[in-house]
Amino acid sequence: MEPTIGLNGSPSIECTSLSPSAPIWQDVLAQAITGELIAAMNYASLSEICDDPEEVADALEHAAGERGHAARFAAEGRRIGIDVPNNVGAKHWKQLRLAFLRCIQDRDFIGCLIVQEIMLESFAVASYKRVGRVAPGSLGQTFASIAAEEEGHVDHAMAILRTERSLDPRRFDDKVHRLHLDVMTTLAKMLAKECKDGHCEVCHGSCVKPSLPDVSLSAAELRGASLQQYLKTLDALGLPGEVTLAWVTQLPV
């Protein structure tokens, strides 16, 4: 496994767990922190292709917010006695980052919003909400609070994307489908029942998914909630439900 990257850019240090469930929360937090750092990188990249100064400032503000989320998750780890690793170079997260960078390379602002705000944030919002309901104490409160903040990001993008779709629905929907095949396939693999592609390179030991029932979670539940959130968001954009449902049913399981 590649060395993990700390929030300050230095390798992170793994600490001994203080409770039986600590290794599970360590891995859950590691995935969350890695996702937040990827989001921060994405927003920073987005700022580089924006022409409007307000859009640049907005993207940089979002980047700072996502780094803040990562720091809050890391602080929750320390609160329960663990130093949480992360790995933005882990294979699935790297694939998601590269998908976003392809939109950056094409200077495709709308494509960037679809990937980050519709696809990645759907998974963040749904999974954080579920974790927030079962995680103990301030850990659960932090997940729930950040889920609400992420929902604000989605709401912010919806007006822009609805306007874009109204100009040419078929072109917009084709773009969403193309990005869906790229991004959502990777996200679905991350929450599949088994890690068929090997270790995810974020969990610090073996895959955490078989242990999730010990903290009243399951990969299937997180996957289902995330895909429902995604379909709900696409429906709010105006995409035909019978079409998007067919997309989702073809994702890897």
pLDDT tens for each residue of 67-104? 999 999 999 999 999 989 999 999 999 999 999 999 99
What residue numbers bound the domain in which 117 lies? 22-249
The verdict on residue 41 lying in a domain is yes
pLDDT digits (tens, 9 = 90+) for 98-120: 999 999 999 999 999 999 999 99
Sign of the dihedral defined by the CA atoms of residues 199, 216, 117, 189, in that order: positive
Mean pLDDT of the chain: 90
> Could you tell me if residue 102 is inside a domain?
yes
Q: What is the pLDDT of residue 6?
A: 44
- Cα–Cα distance measured from residue 70 to residue 66, given in angstroms and rounded to the nearest whole number: 6
Q: Is 1 among the domain residues?
A: no
Residue 168 lies in a domain: yes
With both helix axes pointing from N to C terminus, report the angle between 22-47 and 91-105 in degrees, rounded to the nearest 10: 10
Q: What is d(CA 102, CA 159) in angstroms, rounded to the nearest whole number?
A: 23
In a domain, 11, yes or no: no
Our count of domains for the chain comes to 1
Please, which residues have CB within 8 angstroms of residue 9's CB and are 6 or more apart in sequence? none
Asked whether the predicted pLDDT for residue 8 surpasses 80, the reply is: no
The token duo for 179 is 């990005």
Residue 241 lies in a domain: yes
pTM: predicted TM-score of the whole model, two decimal places:
0.90
| pLDDT at residue number 18 | 52
The CATH number of whichever domain residue 39 belongs to comes to 1.20.1260.10
Q: Is residue 44 part of a domain?
A: yes
d(CA 87, CA 85) in angstroms, rounded, equals: 7
Residue 80: count other Cβ atoms within 10 Å of its Cβ.
20
- Residue 56, domain member (yes or no): yes
Predicted pLDDT at 197? 80
234: pLDDT strictly greater than 80: yes
